[in-house]
Amino acid sequence: MPQARYVAPVRWLHWLTAGSILVVLVAGIWMTKFEPADEALKLRLYNIHESFGVAIFVMTLARLVVRWRNPPPPLPDDLPALMKLAALANHVALYVLLIVQPTIGFLATNAWGFPLHWFGVVPIPAPVGLNVPLAEALSLLHWLGAMAMLVLLAMHIAAVVFHSFIRRDEIWDRMA
């Protein structure tokens, strides 16, 4: 019997979020680890990273609303309770980070004294002004959040691989 699926808006937002996370990750690594000498490119990378972060924040809120109105399909009955708990914990932690991480990044940007113009067009008001000690603390939290996000995403992807190729229980079909 085919597995029940998430509603289409949840599936679309999931994949748009996944793609956006990839963009944020690549831009974040590029701008911080390879620090382009070209200042215009560096600022463009920061804007891409920050703008996609805001988009992730908004998409996550939308996903939560749609998910609240359309509960997820049930997990397979034969899935062990510990796996169900692990899936729930991973999803909750990912949702929390998908909201907290862009918020901390946005506040850090403001605390470093940089305004954010979403995709270079829409100005987003800064709730905090230049404050270097706060910026340093928020930047550290943002980096720690990024590391936590990478671990959670690796676990999420590993679970998909496990369910697809070892258990073969059609979990993938819920979001595909």
pLDDT in tens, 119-134: 999 999 999 999 999 9
SS3 71: coil
**Full set of structural domains in the chain with CATH:** 8-174 (1.20.950)
pLDDT at 172 over 90: no
pLDDT tens profile 76-90: 889 999 999 999 999
Q: Give yes or no for residue 112 having a pLDDT over 50.
A: yes
Cα-to-chain-centroid distance, residue 80? 27
Taking only the tens place, the pLDDT of each residue in 46-63 is: 999 999 999 999 999 999
Instruction: Identify the pLDDT of residue 3.
Output: 60
Using DSSP, state whether 133 is helix, strand or coil: helix
